[in-house]
Amino acid sequence: MEQRTYNQYCATARTLDIVGERWTLLLIRELLTGPKRFGDLQNSLRGLGTGLLSARLKHLEREGLARKVTLPPPARTPAYALTEAGEELGPAVLALARWGLKWALGDRREGETFHPGWAVLGLRTCFVPEAASGLRAVYEWRIDDEVFHARVDDGTLEMSHGPAQHPDATITTSEDALLAIAAGRASLTTAIENGTASASGDGEALRRLSTLFRVPSPKSRTAQLTH
């Protein structure tokens, strides 16, 4: 299949020539949190058929954005990972997510899928570096069956799937509570207070936690048209 092009000598147009096809940026989103097996990508991207997934992955390989790797023991299975060029799309994807939290997310629609693992990207989007100044702590998040952790190191954040070896604090919540926080209907503090989430561990790490992530207040795009 011939690749479509805007046929414009413009950096934005050239970029969209590469990543503007449907599902492509969502594949980048999935790989931003680490290498994924073909089956992992299928499970996360419901609605993307096997044939189209294969085509999109081949496209990312051909364009130098992704490469095949072998996961370390004990898995030792083939997977896909981003190249340096693919990783550098991270800020653009985070900017889109940040815009979406403010202007597009709203309430969950009937039939929409959700994976708690997407919260990894959401937390990176909402991270407030200045609030983490001088803080060194590892937070483990348990959302239903999903586990991931965040390593905060003096204003920087590193997110990874899987449990932490020695977490300073552990946060446990349900998918519904997480969605309420992501949609701006609740905060982690209120979720803990009303029992839909729990937190344990080092007191200072927990005290600082509420300041580390700031979900933008939702706004209506169409409300602007009435002014």
Closest Cα to residue 150, out of 137, 134, 132? 137
- The CATH topology of domain 116-212 is Nonspecific Lipid-transfer Protein; Chain A (3.30.1050)
As annotated, the residues of the chain forming the CATH 3.30.1050.10 domain(s) are 116-212
Higher per-residue confidence, 135 vs 222: 135
Task: Determine the CATH number of domain 11-88.
Answer: 1.10.10.10
Give me the torsion for CA of 7, 13, 17, 23, rounded to 10°: -140
For residues 216 and 183, what is the distance between their CA atoms, to the nearest angstrom?
9
The predicted structure's pLDDT at residue 2 = 61
Residue 1 above 60 pLDDT?
A: no
For the chain, percent of residues with pLDDT exceeding 70: 97
**Dihedral (CA of 78, 68, 124, 177) sign:** negative
Matching residue, tokens 């896909």:
80
pLDDT digits (tens, 9 = 90+) for 79-117: 999 999 999 999 999 999 999 989 998 888 899 998 888
Matching residue, tokens 């207040």:
217
As annotated, the residues of the chain forming the CATH 1.10.10.10 domain(s) are 11-88
For residues 130 and 155, what is the distance between their CA atoms, to the nearest angstrom?
6
Q: 59-83 as b/e, with b when 16 or more CB fall inside 10 Å?
A: bbeebebbeeeeeeeeeeeebbbbe
Q: How confident is the model at residue 193 (pLDDT cuts 50, 70, 90)?
A: confident
